[in-house]
Structures are given as C-alpha cells and as structure tokens.
Amino acid sequence: MSQLQLGLGALGGVVLLGMLAYYLWLAGKNRPRQPQAMPAGTSEPFGSEPTLDLEALDGASEDDPGFSIPVPEKKPGLDALIDVIAPIALEAPISGDAVLAALPPTRRVGSKPFAVEGMNTDTKRWESPQPGQRYSQLQAGLQLANRAGALNDIEFSEFVMKAQNFCDVMNGTPDFPDMRREVARARELDQFASDHDAQIGFVLRARRSAWSPSYVQQMAARLGFVPGSIAGRMVLPGATGPVPVLSLAFDTQAALADDLSQSALRELNLALDVPQVERAEQAFTRMCEAAQALAKEMDGIVTDDAGVPLPPEALAVIAGELEQLYNTLDQRELSAGSVLARRLFS
C-alpha cells in the first residue's frame, strides 16, 4: 500500500471520528437539560416532586419555626356588597339538620353561586347551616357578578324559584328584593370588576438547550415552588393567605410523559392573578425576582406573550399601575386577596 493510500485512509479515519464527535456533541446539545445529581447523604433524587409529610404535620404547631401551612378558611358568608340577599322569616327556630335536608341539590344558578345562611340561636351570628345547631332566621343569596359576567333577569328569576321552593319546605316567608335594582347593581359591579381585573403573565423561553420537566421542577423548587393539583403546574405558596402567590405552568403532555428525561420544554408560563393575592405578599416583586432567577439559572429569557423581552423599565411601569389598582380595590372594600375579592374575581 502506497504512502498516498495510507495518508488518505488516515485522513478518512480522522474525518469519520470528527463527524462522530460532532453528532455526539449535537445530540448532547439538543437533549433537554436534566436535573443535577443528588448530593451525597440525601435519599430523595432531585427532580422528583416534593410530598407533604402528614406525620410531621400532625405533630407540628404554629409555634414551630418551620410551620407555614395556612389554616383553611371558613366558607365565606353572604355580603350585600356582592350578593343579592333575600331574608326568610320562620314561624319558629329550626334545626340545622332540617335546613341541610331541604337545600337544593345544586348550589348554583347559571354561573353564579347560590347559598343559604342561618342566624344561630346561640351565637347570634349568620353562618352556613350546621348539623346540631338551631336557627331563628334564614337568608338566601346569589352572587351579583363574577368573571363569567353580571347577574341577568333570567338568573334572578331562577334564583327566586329556587329560593321559593326551599322556603316552601321550610315553611318560611321570603322577602325578595326588586329585580330591576339588583340587576342594575350587578351590571355596575361587573363593570367595575372588568375595569379593575388584572392577570399578569410572563413567558420564560429557552435560549439554547430545552429543559426536561424534572429539571424545571428542580430549579423551581429551589425558589419555593411546589407541585400543583394539575400535571405541569407548580405554585408558590402564600405566607399570609390560602391562595398561591404565583403559578408556573408548562406543557401538560410533557409532564405526563413516560420518560420525563426525553420531554423537551422550551417555554414556561409564570402567572399572577392580582385580585386573588393579598397586597402584603408583594406578589409582583416576587414574580419578577422568580422570573429573573429562573432565566439566569436556566439560560432563558423573560418575555411577554408575544415574545417581546421585558426590560426593567416596563416592569417598573407595571408595578406603578398595580399600586394604583390596589388602592382602588381598597377604596371599594374589595381589597386584593380578601374573601370578597376572591369571590368576585373568580
């Protein structure tokens, strides 16, 4: 074999090795980022979803430094600010068991929540009917507006029929308010809510390599996010209330894949439902910090829904507008994160 043939053969081998190395590099580059290896001495791999230790929670108390699980709220009561309320006079006090047995099977009229409350003979307070309690008065109510729109004539008429049927069983006498007035109130409240609703969304987009779901879970968990009730959704728990401060969502199909390491994500959605979260949570500030931290650690860029990068100046403008929104909601007695605001903006 001549020197030329040997040289060409060697050159061909080098080219083949080079091509192989390139394709291996390209495959590694295109492979979604994976969670980092677990530190020595720990027993649970990074990237797995956190779980709630019920045994530890049972032994915890509010005085424990690590105790931060919000206490579930009691069911909110009817309020004339956002509800139609029809008083129901009774001939004699009635048991909570009887009231519960007579309640209609569905607690909605159209898109609006329907509720019945009783005046507890012992505590002298309005409450949802409870077994073993007695009530001297009742009242039926229907929410005036929510994100599905304002109460209309048809829904008001259905409310009257539902409440009247309940009263017939209870031998109660209802006193329904004027429909025209209540529908007008509903429209005004709905207009106010529409003008002062705010749901902010950021999109975190990958610059180069895609991310695997387990990698996203690991990086978000470092910022305090925990798995939500829906696949592909994580939430940042609140410190002052039961509603999560932020939600982080990605493709549900990718989250349900058999092999999470092969699922490729190129964008995440970070969302804040402003009226649902208390002002004290400083939710927008935390949203910006979380977005910037994730972008830095995951080699991503923060944009709006249209893919336009969000500079600090734009975020400052949004922050200023949110402060005005908070003030307006406070003045209307619908402070962000309050029970009434969460009912109205739902």
Q: Is there a single domain that holds both residue 202 and residue 340? A: yes
Helix axes 283-298, 312-331, angle to 10 degrees: 150
Residue 111 counted as domain residue: yes
Q: In the numeric block, which tokens belong to residue 310?
A: 């969000």
Cα(45)–Cα(37) distance, integer angstroms: 7
Is 36 in a helix, a strand, or coil?
coil
pLDDT by 10s per residue, the chain, length 346: 566 555 555 555 555 555 544 444 444 545 566 666 655 444 443 333 333 333 333 333 433 433 344 444 445 589 999 999 999 999 999 999 999 999 999 999 999 999 999 999 999 999 999 999 999 999 999 999 999 999 999 999 999 999 999 999 999 999 999 999 999 999 999 999 999 999 999 999 999 889 988 899 999 999 999 999 888 999 999 987 788 999 999 988 777 776 666 688 899 999 999 999 999 999 999 999 999 999 999 999 999 989 999 999 999 999 999 999 999 999 999 999 999 999 999 9
Residue 122 counted as domain residue: yes
Q: Is there a single domain that holds both residue 189 and residue 231? A: no
Instruction: Provide CB contacts within 8 A for 29, sequence distance 6+.
Output: 208, 209
| Contact assessment for residue 199 and residue 274, using Cβ atoms and an 8 Å cutoff | yes
Residue 212 counted as domain residue: yes
Q: Provide the whole-model pTM.
A: 0.77
**CATH code for position 188:** 3.30.1400
Domain total in the chain: 2
Q: Which domain holds residue 294?
A: 198-344
Cα(113)–Cα(165) distance, integer angstroms: 17
Q: Which of 138, 164, 194 is the last residue of a domain?
A: 194
Q: Which of 194, 211, 226 is the last residue of a domain?
A: 194
Q: Is there a single domain that holds both residue 152 and residue 252? A: no
Q: Which of 166, 194, 222 is the last residue of a domain?
A: 194
Q: Please give the span between the terminal C-alpha atoms of the chain, in angstroms, as a whole number.
A: 82
Q: Is there a single domain that holds both residue 157 and residue 219? A: no
Q: Is there a single domain that holds both residue 162 and residue 211? A: no
Q: Is there a single domain that holds both residue 188 and residue 202? A: no
Residue 2 counted as domain residue: no
Q: Is there a single domain that holds both residue 274 and residue 332? A: yes
**CATH code for position 315:** 3.30.1400.10
Q: How many CA atoms lie within 13 A of 230 on its CB side?
A: 10
